């Protein structure tokens, strides 16, 4: 894989339906005919009411939810990669090297200290442990996580503290594509400002970002474009309540 092209990501006629096994196999159609493109150095912000399918789109782009129609492509100078039907081992490599994701909530792994949670994406790429630790500590300090917490597992941290660990983990490896699911939702103004800076730095180094931000000020300061999801593309409003759980890998 070589340099990124313009656009780097394209989404064409994307369709998503969940099969609700707990409801006798009923189908819940969440997305129909969604199109978007995203270029290096650009931040596209998804908007629209709760339940319209914003997080679902990010999860499809991260390989946690299956695509049920249409196409997702990453474009590299030496060719394009279709994400719709990738085998699991290819997702592992893509998540390590290309697609970073800041989920809405940190997935807590018992007994792993915060600093190691943040270092892990660098270690996976073979970065030296001492270097990875310094970079993780630098990010945790920037995000004002008190030093006394760095060596503790984040399981008992407050929501905002866990979110900062999650953000540091998501930004540390400088992925070319970053998916951000409400990364500032439980942060105070000072830490929101740090996240805005991290996003601007990622754009400046040429990363492509796709994000969800409820805070209008944050949205206005980071977004190059807005993509409002409407019931035309996201049709979940008024549909059956969430009943099944799709495997998250």
Ligand X SMILES: Nc1ncnc2c1ncn2[C@@H]1O[C@H](COP(=O)(O)OP(=O)(O)O)[C@@H](O)[C@H]1O
Structure-block tokens of residue 217: 């000020």
CB nearer to ligand X: give 52 or 218: 52
Q: Is 63 in the site for ligand X (CB under 6 A)?
A: no
Q: Which does 132 bind (CB under 5 to 8 A by kind): ligand X, Mg ion, none?
A: none
Question: In angstroms, what is the minimal distance from the CB of 220 to ligand X?
Answer: 20
Asked whether position 246 contacts ligand X by CB under 6 A, the answer is yes
- The binder of ligand X chosen from 27, 152, 244, 249 (CB under 6 A): 244
Q: Which option in Mg ion, ligand X, none does residue 246 bind, with CB closer than 5 to 8 A by kind?
A: ligand X
Span from 66-74, 157-165, 190-198, 240-248 in contact with ligand X (CB under 6 A): 240-248
- What are the phi and psi torsion angles at 186 (to 5°)? -115, 30
3-state secondary structure the chain: CCCEEEEEEEEEEEEEEEEEHHHCCEEEEEEEEEEEEECCCCEEEEECCCCCCHHHHHHHHCCCCCCCEEEEEEEECCEEEECCCCCHHHHHHHHHHCEEEECCCCCCCCCCCHHHHHHHHHHHCCCCHHHHHHHHHHHHHHCCCCHHHCCCCHHHCCHHHHHHHHHHHHHCCCCCEEEEECCCCCCCHHHHHHHHHHHHHHHHCCCEEEEECCCHHHHHHHCCEEEECCCCCECCCCCCCCCCCCCCC
Our measurement of the distance from residue 77's CA atom to the centroid of its chain's CA atoms, rounded to an integer in Å, reads 24
Residue 69 interacting entry, from ligand X, Mg ion, none, C-beta within 5 to 8 Å by type = none
Sheet containing strand 26-38, strands side by side: 26-38, 4-20, 69-76, 79-82
Supply the minimum distance, in Å, between the C-beta of residue 111 and ligand X: 28
CB of 55 to Mg ion, least distance (A): 3
Smallest gap from residue 77 Cβ to ligand X (A): 32
| Stretch 17-56: interaction string toward ligand X, x if CB under 6 A | -x---------x-x-------------------xxxxxxx
Residues between 128 and 167 with contacts to ligand X, criterion CB under 6 A: none
Q: Which is nearer to ligand X, 10 or 23 (CB)?
A: 23
Size of the site for ligand X (CB under 6 A): 15
Of 54 and 192, nearer to Mg ion (C-beta) is: 54
Closest to Mg ion by CB, 90 vs 226, is 226
Q: Which residues form the interface with ligand X (CB under 6 A)?
A: 18, 28, 30, 50-56, 236, 242, 244-246
């Amino acid at each position: 894989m070589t340099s990124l092209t313009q656009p780097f990501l394209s989404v064409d006629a994307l369709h998503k339906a969940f099969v609700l096994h707990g409801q006798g196999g009923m189908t819940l159609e969440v997305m129909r005919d969604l199109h978007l493109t995203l270029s290096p150095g650009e931040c596209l912000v998804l908007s629209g009411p709760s339940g319209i399918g914003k997080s679902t789109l990010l999860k499809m782009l991260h390989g946690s939810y299956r695509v049920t129609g249409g196409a997702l492509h990453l474009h590299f100078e030496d060719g394009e990669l279709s994400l719709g039907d990738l085998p699991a081992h290819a997702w592992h490599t893509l998540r390590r090297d290309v697609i970073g994701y800041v989920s809405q909530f940190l997935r807590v792994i018992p007994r792993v200290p915060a600093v190691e949670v943040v270092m892990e994406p660098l270690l996976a790429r073979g970065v030296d442990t001492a270097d990875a630790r310094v970079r993780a500590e630098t990010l945790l300090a920037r995000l004002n996580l008190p030093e006394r917490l760095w060596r503790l597992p984040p399981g008992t941290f407050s929501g905002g503290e866990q979110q900062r660990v999650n953000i540091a983990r998501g930004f540390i490896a400088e992925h070319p594509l970053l998916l951000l699911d409400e990364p500032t939702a439980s942060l105070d103004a000072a830490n929101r400002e740090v996240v805005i800076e991290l996003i601007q730095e990622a754009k400046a180094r040429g990363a492509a970002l796709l994000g969800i931000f409820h805070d209008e000020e944050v949205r206005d300061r980071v977004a190059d474009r807005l993509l409002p999801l409407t019931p035309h593309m996201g049709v979940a409003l008024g549909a059956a309540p969430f009943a099944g759980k799709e495997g998250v890998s």
